Amino acid sequence: MEKLAALFKPFTKAKFRFIHWVLLLYIFFIPLWPKIPFKDVEYTYINIRYEDIFLGFLAFLFVIEIIRGKARIFKNPYLPWIVLYWVVVFIAFIYGHFVTKTVPVFNIGLLHSLRRVEYMFPFFVFFALVENARQFRIYAISIFLALFGVIIYAFGQKFIGWPAYLTMNPVFSTGIPLLLKYESRIASTFGGHYDLGAFLVLLIPSTLAMFAAGKKKYGLLFFLSLLVLVYTASRTSFISYVVSATALLFFLRKWKMSVVIIFISAVMMLFTRDLTDRFMKTFSVRQILV
């Protein structure tokens, strides 16, 4: 009993409420849960997934917190600009459906517009409900643990044959477990390699910043994350990583480290044929007869 109390002591000190536990579960659930559909939308290839249900539950709890006066949403300086963006999204959808007819199916356009809100909504929840430094530290550590889980599954998918649940076409999005070939671009627990690449691009600079701050154990997490990014063979994500990592190290005035990181990144790219081949295909010389 004492060990159990000691385990929960950091959360008690951080003054966790029920919604804070839900946020903690959200950090692990969204990146680690396979993209298996909960229900398909008739006459479309769009699926409602379990993470959509989870976010709906989180939104319900968040509204209750606002009513109780526990959430400081209106103190968010980004609120007016993001709400303006949402308004523009829905105006574009309505105009495209009723005027220009470029959005032929109303339900599909509506769902795509709502998903823009869904993707950005958690930012407001965390901004409003992270109330002290202890909570922030718990959530930050949890994000890195979730990243480690994504990495483990990615290597299992690459070398052991763990299944992929992709959403890149109507057939795959039905939740069929796929066994990827060795030369295939890995997606880990995400619906596609581009989604995985975007996730890694957001977190790799964070691991690099922690390593630069003297947290040596984050060096291994950075290296493994970079290797998984290379295995996605996503050119856009890799370029984004190089730009963001270099800018971060320049901002921190870590000149020598920036040279080392760029060198390691180049070597890893050259030793993995998939990404190298894709970069080579970007620039090609062809003879054109006139």
- Do 171 and 30 belong to one domain? no
Confidence of residue 167 (pLDDT cuts 50, 70, 90): confident
**Statement to judge: residues 33 and 116 lie in one domain:** yes
User: So what's the pLDDT on residue 272?
Assistant: 72
Domain finish residue from 131, 160, 185:
131
For residue 183, name the pLDDT band (cuts at 50, 70, 90): confident
More confident residue, 167 or 20: 20
Phi, psi of 34 (to 5 degrees): -60, 150
**Number of structural domains the chain divides into:** 2
Clarify whether residues 160 and 282 are in a common domain: yes
Q: Residue 224: pLDDT above 90?
A: yes
* Rounded average pLDDT over 119-132: 90
- Percent of the chain residues topping a pLDDT of 70: 90
**What is the SS3 assignment for the chain?**
CHHHHHHHHHHHHCCCCHHHHHHHHHHHHHHHCCCCEEEECCCCCCEEEHHHHHHHHHHHHHHHHHHCCCCCHHHCCCHHHHHHHHHHHHHHHHHHHHCCCCCCCHHHHHHHHHHHHHHHHHHHHHHHHCCCHHHHHHHHHHHHHHHHHHHHHHHHHHHHCCCECCCCCCCHHHCCCECCCCCCCCCCCCCCHHHHHHHHHHHHHHHHHHHHCCCCHHHHHHHHHHHHHHHHCCHHHHHHHHHHHHHHHHHCCCHHHHHHHHHHHHHHHHCCHHHHHHHHHHCCCCCCCC
In tens, the pLDDT along 225-267 reads 999 999 998 888 899 999 999 999 999 999 999 999 989 988 8
Q: 33 lies in a domain?
A: yes
Same structural domain for residues 149 and 278?
A: yes
In this structure, the answer to whether residues 288 and 192 fall within a common structural domain is yes
246 domain-assigned: yes
Res. 137 pLDDT band, cuts 50 70 90: very high
Specify whether 148 is located in the same domain as 284. Answer: yes
6 lies in some domain: no
On the question of pLDDT at 290 being above 60, the answer is no
Q: What is the pLDDT of residue 188?
A: 93
What percent of the chain shows pLDDT beyond 90? 50
Whether 165 and 120 map to the same domain: the answer is no
**Structural domain includes residue 258:** yes
Q: How far apart are CA 289 and CA 271, in angstroms?
A: 36
Judge whether residue 280 has pLDDT over 80: no
Question: What does the pLDDT read at residue 107?
Answer: 83
* Residue at 12 is within a domain: no
Q: Which of 106, 131, 156 is a domain's end point?
A: 131
222 & 119 share domain: no
Together in a domain, 81 and 140: no
Domain identity same for 162 and 69: no
pLDDT band at 135 (very low <50, low <70, confident <90, very high): very high
pLDDT score of 94: 95
The answer on 41 and 185 residing in a single domain is no
Kindly report the pTM of this predicted structure: 0.88
Residue 289 is assigned to a structural domain of this protein: yes
The residue range of the domain holding 155 is: 132-290
Residues 70-85, mean pLDDT to the nearest whole number: 86
pLDDT digits (tens, 9 = 90+) for 12-60: 888 899 999 999 999 999 999 988 888 877 666 677 888 889 999 999 9
Q: Does residue 1 lie within any of the structural domains?
A: no
Dihedrals phi, psi of 69, to nearest 5 degrees: 80, 20
Same domain, 127 and 198: no
Instruction: Give per-residue pLDDT as tens, 89-121.
Output: 999 999 999 999 999 888 888 988 998 898 899
pLDDT band for position 83 (50/70/90)? very high
pLDDT for res 38 = 84
